[in-house]
Amino acid sequence: MIEDLFESSTSGFLMVAIVSLLLLQLCFSFISREKRKDLPGPEALPLLGNLHQLDLKRLDCHLVQLSQKYGPIFRVYLASKKVVVLAGYTAVKQALVNQAEDFGEREIFPIFHDFNKGNGILFTNGDQWKEMRRFALMTLKDFGMGKRTIEEKIIEECQYLIEAFEQHQGEAFSNAQVISYATSNIISAIMYGRRFDYKDPTFQAMIERDHEVIHLTGSPSIQIYNIFPWLGPFLKTWRYIMKKVEINIESTRRIIGEMKETRNPGTCRCFVDAFLIHKENQEESDVNAHYYHEDNLLHCVMNLFGAGTDTTATTLQWGLLYITKYPHIQDGVQEELRRVVGNRQVRVEDRKNLPYMEAVIHETQRMANIVPMSLPHRTSRDTSFQGYFIQKGTMVIPLLTSVLYDESQWEKPHTFNPAHFLDDEGRFVRRDAFMPFSAGRRMCLGEGLARMELFLFFASLLQHFHFKPAPGVSEDSLDLTPVVGITLNPLTHKLRAISRF
């Protein structure tokens, strides 16, 4: 009887204690929520979130519009997934630079996991990302990034590109493919220690597949797949992309295999050799040794090859389109080149004496806005930002469109205006809000190489050619509407490259 009473009273005490603890937790949660400001944003529906309201065909522009209503930091829901959007230079800089550790992880969409399976550089986090990025930066520098050795390779490639343009003898043609071949050959020189002939069908097919994948990865159907990945097998676009990726994986594997067969243990020709040498020389006690495996090599090469080809080629295409649309700007660049360089080969050291050229290239990057939403970030830990609480693991979009067109930072943000990068005396000036390569821990690791390529290719082409629209097309009618994918490309168009000599 006493034992029954004891058990009964103990059970009752435990029940009261549990209920009390639950009530306390609810109170603390309520108080905590009261202290934390909720992020502003449009009203979301169950299951759908804000999908019914968002324009997935040009999401960056729609998010800019929402920022005008909700401010520089707001949230949207992609189905049940909460996404924090950062708009404007101040918010993006504060997050990516001032709070770089908090906002420094990569959000890995299902499609990116499908491509890389947790390998490579672009779509990894933690110690693997740190080690692979460190190794890639070190190796890119060893093989000339920012140095005279890679400058010579770019200048050599300039001649091949000029010859390809000359073959059209002033007739209108689409320059997209051949420019991609040229930029691809620069990253190929670093990755594989070789260049490819522009007429090599295997090389052409590889570049075309990369371009298709990058474009389609930003399509509305793949954005929907990233939210509802179980839809993948039912989506024609997903099946098509994965087929192309698998072919590229096999092509890259084959090239790496050929390089292994031709290796000389006493020399290091390229990135692939450097990776294999590092793998062979790793001590078992090295905590990072397990990252140097075949799949990481394959996907590091593919990440760098794709990134090193597409964005630089696309920027050059935009540059030629802009200077054709605005012939007075083209005339200004060519006059400066004539005065400073003359007919000799332009060199990187000439950059400091070509401020107008530099301004035009920078303004092209700003207006072209190649990667409008950057690649998505993710918070690495619970953090406070501008008075708001953001939970660890929250997806974050640094809206680069809103930075490059920020009305508080640019005098004429929606106009192609090289004066944005010139002072009153015509000297080139850097602008803090110039972030086409993003910023912080995840900024483009090939920025130095891309800047050198843009300068030498653009200057060399303008030394040799004057660019005009196709016959019957006026400068004013050239269409600057972008084709939307992960990157923003010009619409298919034809220009005339008329020899200046």
SS3 at position 229 = helix
Tell me which of 138-152, 154-168, 394-408 is least confident: 138-152
Give dist(CA 39, CA 70) in Å, integer.
Answer: 9
Say what the pLDDT of residue 24 is.
45
36-478 classified as CATH 1.10.630.10: yes
Q: Name the CA dihedral angle for 314, 318, 320, 321, rounded to a multiple of 10 degrees.
A: 140
Which band of pLDDT confidence, cut at 50, 70 and 90, is reported for residue 87?
very high
Q: Are 140 and 446 in contact (CB under 8 A)?
A: yes
Burial of residue 66 (CB within 10 Å: 0-12, 13-18, 19+) is buried
Q: What is the pLDDT of residues 346-375, one digit of tens each?
A: 999 999 999 999 999 999 999 999 999 999
- Angle at 332 (CA atoms; ends 345, 177), nearest 5 degrees: 60
Is the predicted pLDDT of residue 34 greater than 60, yes or no? no
Q: Is 158 annotated as a binding residue?
A: no
Place of tokens 């082409």: 461
Q: What is the pLDDT of residues 422-469, one digit of tens each?
A: 999 999 999 999 999 999 999 998 899 999 999 999 999 999 999 999
Say what the pLDDT of residue 6 is.
34
Q: How many CB atoms are located within 10 Å of the residue 412 CB?
A: 10
Q: Are 124 and 105 in contact (CB under 8 A)?
A: no
**Cα–Cα distance list, 369 to 65, 154, 251, 384 (Å):** 17, 24, 31, 29
Give dist(CA 479, CA 473) in Å, integer.
Answer: 11
Residues 152-173 have a mean pLDDT of 97
Say what the pLDDT of residue 418 is.
98
8-39 exposure pattern, b = at least 16 Cβ within 10 A, e = fewer? eeeeeeeeeeeeeeeeeeeeeeeeeeeeeeeb
pTM of the model: 0.90
Strands (E), 402-456: none
Is the predicted pLDDT of residue 30 greater than 80, yes or no? no
Q: Measured in Å, how far apart are the chain's first and last C-alpha atoms? A: 112
Q: What is the pLDDT of residues 200-215, one digit of tens each?
A: 999 999 999 999 999 9
Is the predicted pLDDT of residue 27 greater than 60, yes or no? no
Looking at per-residue confidence, does 322 or 22 come out higher?
A: 322
Q: What is the pLDDT of residues 190-201, one digit of tens each?
A: 999 999 999 999
Longest dimension (CA), the chain: 112
Give dist(CA 99, CA 101) in Å, integer.
Answer: 6
3-state SS string for 95-146: HHHHCCCCCCEECCCHHHHHHHCCCCCCCCCHHHHHHHHHHHHHHHHHCCCC
The DSSP output letter for 499 is E
Place of tokens 């086409």: 436
Bridging pattern class, strands 395-399 and 81-87: parallel
Residues 20-40 have a mean pLDDT of 52
SS3 at position 43 = coil
Say what the pLDDT of residue 266 is.
82
Say what the pLDDT of residue 51 is.
93
Bridging pattern class, strands 495-499 and 172-173: antiparallel
| Close Cβ partners of 256 (under 8 Å, ≥ 6 residues apart) | 272, 297, 298, 301
Type of residue found at 88: G
Q: What percent of the chain lies above the pLDDT cut of 90?
A: 84
Q: Residues for the chain: how many in total? A: 501
Chain Cα centroid distance, residue 461: 25
Give dist(CA 179, CA 493) in Å, integer.
Answer: 14
Say what the pLDDT of residue 284 is.
63
Give dist(CA 401, CA 403) in Å, integer.
Answer: 5
Bridging pattern class, strands 465-469 and 172-173: unpaired
Across the chain, mean pLDDT equals 91
Of the candidates 127, 94, 93, 121, the residue with the CA atom closest to the CA atom of residue 108:
121
Which band of pLDDT confidence, cut at 50, 70 and 90, is reported for residue 146?
low
State the helix-helix crossing angle for 271-281 and 236-261, rounded to 10 degrees: 70
Q: Are 139 and 271 in contact (CB under 8 A)?
A: yes
Give dist(CA 5, CA 310) in Å, integer.
Answer: 78
Give dist(CA 346, CA 362) in Å, integer.
Answer: 18
Is the predicted pLDDT of residue 118 greater than 70, yes or no? yes
Is the predicted pLDDT of residue 330 greater than 80, yes or no? yes
Is the predicted pLDDT of residue 16 greater than 60, yes or no? no
Say what the pLDDT of residue 202 is.
92
